[in-house]
């Protein structure tokens, strides 16, 4: 049927449109949403596409037992709402974490980072920036961490040429840090929320490979980017922010601690109390909101001019473009799941690439050119959790899923357009595609392969 094969063609064209948004002059969010609407429209109008899928057959058996009614349209309406509910959990997590990070930054919570990182020695600064990026991306997420680090670099490194070097290394370090944390990247969040990996298993098995993927390129950059003893042209200056005189220090510290702890405790709530990830981060957001409301009530005159700090304003400043982008991508993949195209593709891929380790490496390399969220979401649809045996790479915490978490995130560093982190830094510092490709792609590749090798060696031991 032509409509059956047209759906994956539309999806691929959508992914290419996202990858080349600068060339076609259409924002990737608009492309993602259009792709989503087209795929679901085809599916809902041509209901015969889903009539032969395993999902519909299971639904059919259940409907016969419960009501005796069975209709493809009813099935697709039910699955549309089900997928939308699953996607909403991820979107609310991303939205609330964005607001928390924005609030911490507005209250000057990240100012201490500039003081800790500051040094006149270029090589020392390189390591401090890399380590700070690595840790912040794990506790916040790699996109938020990159924005914080770039803001710090603008205060410490006035020379544009030098700052571009540090910014490029920040991309590699942030993606490395995001790979070992369940909240470090949207792809790892997807793997966690979809029941492929558990937080502590991921941390335990990926922190060493991720650290290797950071150390190797940083060590190479240490020798090739900066000469021994090279100093910054100007002493680092860490100026006070505009609200320093009116914002109580206790408020800054409290907001910082509440925000960071809210994000760090999300895996704990989920593991021990079975609280969904998005509920945990919403709880943290509410705590910060209540605290700041009491603070404004207690210091009405002092904070009269600081209206931008109120949580209502922080919510208004949320990046809804990114949220709608993820909505479009994830719901597009959901349409291919219900259409049966991803199930068919999984069989073809397994025949073509029998090694799951090689498959994960290839997906990681592809994520440098295509959106890793879309790739991982598609893979989740292609390979459901396998409960057939403990040695299967597709079981919960199976070797494929854990390795995919590493590859999909760190692979985005191979090209500057390969991750949201890279694209963001590219825009902030006006870094060209060619500049990164010539000077940093090989460094990122060395780290990517070194970390992958360490993971494979580590898997033989544990």
Q: Which domain holds residue 143?
A: 89-316
- Which residue in 93, 102, 94 sits closest to 288, CA to CA? 102
**Structural element, H or E, at residue 45:** helix 28-45
**pLDDT of 101-158, one tens digit each?**
888 888 887 776 777 787 888 899 999 999 999 998 988 888 888 888 888 888 888 8
Contact assessment for residue 107 and residue 256, using Cβ atoms and an 8 Å cutoff: yes
pLDDT value at position 116? Answer: 76
pLDDT value at position 385? Answer: 82
Is the pLDDT at 69 greater than 90, yes or no?
no
Query: For residue 378, what are the CA distances in angstroms to 225, 239, 346?
Result: 38, 46, 10
Residue 61 in any domain: the answer is no
Residue 66 in any domain: the answer is no
Q: Could you give the residue ranges of the DSSP H alpha helices within 107-248?
A: 111-117, 122-139, 142-156, 160-179, 186-193, 199-224
Total domains, the chain? 1
- 66 versus 443: the higher-pLDDT residue is 443
pLDDT value at position 66? Answer: 47
**pLDDT of 342-393, one tens digit each?**
888 888 888 888 889 999 999 999 888 877 888 888 898 888 887 666 667 8
**What does 304-355 look like in DSSP terms, one character per residue?**
TT-GGGSHHHHHHTS-HHHHHHHHHHHHHHHHHHHHTHHHHHHHHHHHH---
Residue 306 in any domain: the answer is yes
Residue 6 in any domain: the answer is no
pLDDT value at position 387? Answer: 64
- The average pLDDT across 15-35 equals 87
Is the pLDDT at 239 greater than 70, yes or no?
no
Residue 260 in any domain: the answer is yes
Residue 136 in any domain: the answer is yes
Residue 135 in any domain: the answer is yes
Contact assessment for residue 401 and residue 354, using Cβ atoms and an 8 Å cutoff: no
Average pLDDT, the chain: 85
């Amino acid at each position: 049927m032509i409509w059956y094969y047209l759906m994956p063609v539309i999806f691929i064209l959508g992914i290419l449109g996202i990858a080349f948004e600068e060339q076609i002059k259409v924002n990737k969010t608009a492309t993602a949403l259009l792709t989503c609407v087209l795929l679901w429209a085809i599916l809902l109008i041509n209901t015969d596409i889903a009539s032969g899928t395993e999902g519909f057959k299971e639904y059919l058996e259940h409907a016969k037992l419960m009501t005796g009614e069975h209709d493809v349209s009813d099935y697709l309406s039910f699955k549309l709402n089900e997928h939308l509910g699953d996607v909403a959990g991820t979107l609310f997590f991303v939205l609330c974490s964005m607001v928390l990070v924005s609030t911490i930054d507005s209250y000057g919570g990240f100012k201490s980072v500039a003081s800790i990182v500051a040094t006149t020695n270029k090589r020392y600064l390189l390591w401090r920036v890399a380590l700070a990026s690595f840790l912040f991306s794990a506790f916040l997420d790699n996109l938020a961490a990159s924005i914080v680090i770039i803001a710090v670099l603008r205060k410490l490194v006035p020379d544009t040429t030098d700052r571009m070097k540090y910014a490029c290394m920040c991309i590699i370090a942030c993606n490395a840090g995001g790979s070992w944390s369940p909240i470090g990247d949207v792809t790892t969040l997807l793997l966690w929320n979809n029941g492929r990996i558990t937080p502590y298993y991921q941390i335990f098995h990926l922190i060493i490979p991720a650290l290797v993927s950071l150390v190797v390129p940083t060590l190479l950059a240490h020798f090739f980017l900066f000469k021994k003893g090279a100093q910054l042209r100007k002493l680092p200056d860490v100026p006070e922010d505009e609200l320093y005189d009116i914002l109580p220090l206790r408020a800054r510290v409290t907001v910082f601690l509440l925000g960071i702890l809210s994000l760090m405790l999300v895996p704990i709530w989920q593991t021990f109390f079975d609280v969904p990830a998005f509920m945990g981060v919403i709880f943290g957001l509410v705590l910060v909101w209540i605290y700041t409301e009491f603070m404004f009530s207690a210091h009405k005159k002092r904070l009269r001019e600081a209206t931008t700090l109120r949580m209502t304003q922080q919510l208004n400043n949320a990046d809804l473009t990114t949220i709608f982008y993820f909505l479009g991508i994830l719901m597009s993949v959901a349409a291919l799941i219900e259409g049966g195209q991803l199930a068919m593709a999984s069989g073809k891929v397994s025949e073509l690439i029998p090694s799951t380790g090689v498959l994960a490496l290839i997906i990681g390399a592809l994520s440098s050119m295509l959106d890793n969220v879309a790739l991982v979401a598609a893979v989740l649809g292609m390979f459901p959790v396998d409960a057939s045996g403990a040695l299967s790479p597709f079981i919960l915490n199976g070797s494929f899923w854990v390795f995919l978490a590493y590859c999909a995130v760190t692979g985005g560093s191979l090209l500057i357009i390969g991750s949201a982190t890279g694209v963001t830094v590219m825009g902030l510092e006006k870094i060209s595609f060619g500049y990164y490709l010539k000077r940093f792609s090989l460094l990122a590749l060395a780290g990517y392969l070194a970390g992958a090798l360490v993971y494979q060696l580590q898997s033989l031991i544990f």
